Every structure is written in C-alpha cells, then in structure tokens.
Structure 1
Amino acid sequence: MTVPCSGPTGGASGLVEAVKQVNADGRGVIRLSANCNYDFTAPAETGTRGGDALPIIKGEITIIGGPSTHIRRTGGPKFRLFEVFTGAQLTIRGIFVEGGDSGDFTGGGILSARGTLHLFQVTLRNNTADNGAGLSNDSGTAVVSYTLITDNTTVHPNGSGGGGAAIYSDGRLSVDFSRLSRNSANSSGGGVYNELGGSATFFRTTLDENTAKIHGGGLLNGVGGRARLVRTLVEDNRASDGGGIYRDQEAGPVLLDDSLVIRNAPNNCRPVGSVPGCS
C-alpha cells in the first residue's frame, strides 16, 4: 500500500493506520512519498519500554521511501520511532529516521527486541536514549547496509548507562558498507557497544569521530561479546581509554581482518595486546 504525504489517508496518521493494517494482515509493503516529512508529536503506543511513534511491528513489514523521505519525532513527549516485536521482521529502505527519544529506555530511533531488522540506505540521526540511541538490537538480528548512523546521543539522568550511541547490540549484528560517525555515549561505546553474547561483524565500514566518556570511542566489546572487522576503518574516535576499540577482559575476541585502527585518542586499542594487530 502507498501512504501519501498529506490528506486524510496520508502523513503520520496515515502511516500509523498502514502499519496497523499490515500487522493485521501478517505481512506487506508500505511505500512512502519522496521528499516528504512524516512528522510525529505523540506516540501511537506506550508499553513497558516507553512510547513508540508507530504501532509495534508484529508482522513482516517492509517500508520503502526515498529520495528524501523522513520519519521524525518533532515534539511532544519522549518516544522512539520504531519497535520490532519478538519474532517479527522490519525492513526499512531509503528513509531518514530522526529525532527519536526513548528517555530512560533503550533504542531512541529503533528498538528490535528479539526481532529481525534490515536497514538499507537509511540515515539514523539525532536520536537519544539511555543506550542504543540510534539502534538497539536486543537479542535480535540486525543487518545494516549502506547506512549512515550519525549524531545520536546516549544520556541518563543519574550518569549511569548511556552506552552504544550509534548501536547497542547483544544479538547478531552485521554492518556493511556503512558509516557510524559523530555519535556520543555518556559511558562507553561511542560507536557500538557489543556485549552479552553479541556477535558483531563489520565489512567495509567506517567508525569515525565518535566519543565515549569512559571506554571504546569507536567500539566497546563487552562481557561475552565478539567482533570481527573486515576492511573496516576505525579512526578519529575519542574516549578516556581505548579511543578506537576497548575489549573487556571477559569479552570474546576482536579480530581485525585487513582493517585499520588509527588516529584515535588517547590510544587506539586497550588493554594493550587485547586486539591482535592493533597498536
């Protein structure tokens, strides 16, 4: 189905109704207008993890936009934009996902809670959350391709939490031909926070100019996490330690395959020797 930019069946309200319909049908494709802003000022649903601009994805849904199609939170209370339910699948293509704010909850732009998420030619920017400001992959599967994740911020009122400004993941994560840039974490993992059995693979991707107050300006590989970087660049990230990559002592391996970790401050990888091939 097609949701026009305006009119009685268009805009943000039309998109809400379209998601409801596809959820009821079980699967479907929603096409959005080019050069259109679908602006939200209130959540469609509020659950145990805060509010969502759109109904929680419970079927198999593909949403296609572009060029210059925006789904945005532009005011009102704090709420994220997308949430994917357990066992559901969401594919987003050619859309800007902006301005989500889940407050003290995870996933400011998108939360996939044991679901499956595919992002293709998406821009995730200016989203805020306790962790996973751009994207929170909570024990699910996330495939991110040809996507820009930028200017997302993690915050927490008491100073705790706040990890994974671009992406938080404790599931299966694949990022290829993408860029994670200028994201800022209140604690660790300015670019990515990968932990608790999470498996993260990066292919021909750049993590640059991300910051973390504590560890892992580019990537924090936490307890039980494992990561592989293939032809990937990690540069110009900052943290108090492990400006590029920080590997927790109880984490799995971080493998560099024809990848560069350079010009990060105050160092590239920590602890010393924890990431083979990184000085």
Structure 2
Amino acid sequence: MFRAPSTGQDATPPITVPITFLGNGAVLRREAAPTSHFRLLDVAVGGTATLSRLTIENGDVTEAGGGVLVQPGGTLRGTSVTVRGNTAGGDGGGIDDQGTVRLTDSRVRDNTAQAFGGGLAVEPGGTADLTGTTVDGNTAGSFAGGGVYNDGGSVTISRSTVAKNEVTAGDGGGLWNDAQMTVNDSTVEDNLARDHGGGVTNAGGGKATFNRSTIRNNRAGLQAGGVYNVNPGSVLVLNRSLITKNRSANAPGGVFNGAGSTVVNKHSVIQGNTPTNCSPSSVPGCVG
C-alpha cells in the first residue's frame, strides 16, 4: 500500500529497464484517503513492465494515466492483471498508453477519466492489444470513449468483452476510434453514450473493423445506440457481425453512417434496433 508519491505523480520511480512483477494475487494500491495524487506504475522510454496475477488499484492523478502511464518507448505486458478503481484528471482512467500495451486474460474495470478513455486511452503513436480481456464499468467524463479511446494509435481487441462503460458528455460509450481499430470475436454490450454511439463511435477518418463480433444492448442519448460512423474518410467494416437490440432517442438506433463516411457490410446482420436499424442514414444490407 502506497501513501505518498516517490516523485511527481508516481508511486515509484519511472521504469526504464525490463522488470517483471510476479504478483501471485498481490495488490498495488494507493491508500484510500491520502491527500497526494499519484499513479501506481509509470513505464518510461526503454522500460518494459511484465506483470502477472497482479491488481493495480485506486491510483489518482490530476493528469493522464490514473493507474498506469506508458510513455512513448515504454511497454506494458500484463497477464491475469486487474486495473480497477483508478482516476485520472486527464485521459486514461485505468491506463494511458503512449507506447505499447498488451493485456491477456485481464480486466480493466471501474476506472474514471475526467477527459477521454475511462478504462484505456491510446494516444497518437500508441499500440494496444487486448486478448481475452474484459473492459467494464469505466467512465469518461468528457467527449469520448467510456471503455477504450483510440486517438491516432492502433488497437486490436480479440476474444474480449467491452461492457457497461459510459461516456457522460459525448460519444462512444464502449469504444471510440479515429485511427486503426480491429475487433475480433468480441462483444460490445450494455454501454451508454449521452450523445452518439452507445456501443461504438468511429470518426475523424478512422477505420474500425469488426470481425465475427456482436454489438448489442447499447444506448445513446441522441443517435446510434449501436455504431456512429461519421466524418469524411471514416470507414466501418462489419464482417459477419451482429448489431442488435441497441437503442437511441433519435433514429437510427442501430448504425448511423454520415456524409462522406463508408460502411462495408460483409454478411453482417443489423436488426431489432430502436427506433430504426439504420434509417434515415444509408447502410448497405440494412433495412429499416
């Protein structure tokens, strides 16, 4: 348990060399009520933090990366890791990724960012690979990405679940992307956006590809409970995926495709969304 920072807003000095944490169920925790702000881990250039069976909990910073900050040139590798209950005044309530993050069989839950990316924020040039991982119960307070926010990075999500995340004033309750995002064999469900894209927002010329994945039971306060695909050059690829039972206050409830953006539908099903599936926008293979 940490009660005060080592330096700046870090509990320990930044990691600049390879280091392995064999947690065996241990918890790295910021004491519940200290007056100082700090995160639990900071991985700097040249550093590689390899974590297993470890929980990172209750970090609280005024800047980015409430639980973990991965700087450019840093790498975080986690297996059976839980990042929970952390808070950032900037991006990345759980993790702010400016370098490389790989999580396997892990969980990012109940984190809060006052800005973007309640669970995980991937910044320009960052890469993230989530496999067998659950991102749930996270909140972004400003504009984008309750669960995962990708701004100029590259994200791959495989055999994972993104659920019950929320953006309280903006778009992309579950996922927000403006660069490269690929989702394989995964589920995006029960997320909430106060504005657009309860499940997913793909914007700013980004490309989001969903392979054999399900987007269901998400809600938006304005449009597109399921997926909001907007801005010229944005491309949404739906490959053998299912978008269903999503809802929004205004049509469409399923998938919205804006002017200058493109949806490629490869044998996917868009049905059972409220108040409409895609109308009044135009989405190939979508009726109603």
- Give the corresponding residue for 2:278: none
Deviations 1:148-196 (A, max 9, x none): 11000112xxxxxx10010000211100000000101002100000012
Q: 1:44 Cα shift?
A: 1.0
- TM-score normalised by the chain length of structure 2: 0.75
The answer as to 2:165 corresponding to 1:205 is no
- Give the corresponding residue for 1:235: 189
Call closer, same or farther: CA 1:251–1:57 in 2, change over 3 Å: same
Equivalent position to 1:164, from 98, 111, 117:
117
Deviations 1:31-69 (A, max 9, x none): xxxxxxxx00101111xxxx11111101100111123x1
- Give the corresponding residue for 1:90: 49
Counterpart Cα distance in 1 of 2:70 and 2:155:
15
Call closer, same or farther: CA 1:275–1:80 in 2, change over 3 Å: farther
The answer as to 2:133 corresponding to 1:178 is yes
Q: Matched residue of 2:215: which SS?
A: strand
The answer as to 2:147 corresponding to 1:191 is yes
User: What is the 5 A alignment of 1:112-123?
Assistant: 112-114=70-72, 115-123=74-82
The answer as to 2:91 corresponding to 1:131 is yes
* Amino acid corresponding to residue 172 of structure 2 in structure 1: G
Q: Matched residue of 2:56: which SS?
A: strand
* Amino acid corresponding to residue 200 of structure 1 in structure 2: V
Counterpart Cα distance in 1 of 2:46 and 2:213:
34
Deviations 1:171-226 (A, max 9, x none): 11100000000101002100000012x0100000000000002100000103xx11
- TM-score normalised by the chain length of structure 1: 0.78
The answer as to 2:59 corresponding to 1:100 is yes
Q: Matched residue of 2:60: which SS?
A: coil
How big is the alpha-carbon RMSD for the aligned residues of Structure 1 and Structure 2?
Answer: 1.3
Report the count of equivalent residues. Answer: 224
Say which structure is richer in helix: 1
User: What is the 5 A alignment of 1:252-267?
Assistant: 252-266=206-220, 267=225
Call closer, same or farther: CA 1:276–1:102 in 2, change over 3 Å: farther
Moved over 3 A (4+): 273-279
Q: 1:252 Cα shift?
A: 2.1
The answer as to 2:28 corresponding to 1:71 is yes
Counterpart Cα distance in 2 of 1:112 and 1:270:
29
* Amino acid corresponding to residue 217 of structure 2 in structure 1: R
Q: Matched residue of 1:121: which SS?
A: strand
- Give the corresponding residue for 1:216: 172
Q: Matched residue of 1:142: which SS?
A: strand
- Give the corresponding residue for 1:10: none
Counterpart Cα distance in 2 of 1:260 and 1:111:
30
Counterpart Cα distance in 2 of 1:180 and 1:260:
15
* Amino acid corresponding to residue 198 of structure 2 in structure 1: G
Counterpart Cα distance in 2 of 1:275 and 1:203:
21
Residues 253 and 275, structure 1, Cα contact 8 Å, conserved in 2: no
Q: Matched residue of 2:76: which SS?
A: strand
The alignment-based identity, stated in percent, is 33
Q: 1:276 Cα shift?
A: 4.2
Counterpart Cα distance in 2 of 1:164 and 1:203:
19
Q: 1:87 Cα shift?
A: 2.1
Counterpart Cα distance in 1 of 2:21 and 2:53:
9
* Amino acid corresponding to residue 6 of structure 2 in structure 1: A
* Amino acid corresponding to residue 66 of structure 1 in structure 2: N
Gap runs ≥5 in structure 1: 1-38, 156-161
Counterpart Cα distance in 1 of 2:113 and 2:163:
17
Q: 1:275 Cα shift?
A: 5.4
The answer as to 2:2 corresponding to 1:40 is yes
The answer as to 2:106 corresponding to 1:147 is yes
Gap runs ≥5 in structure 2: 230-255, 271-288
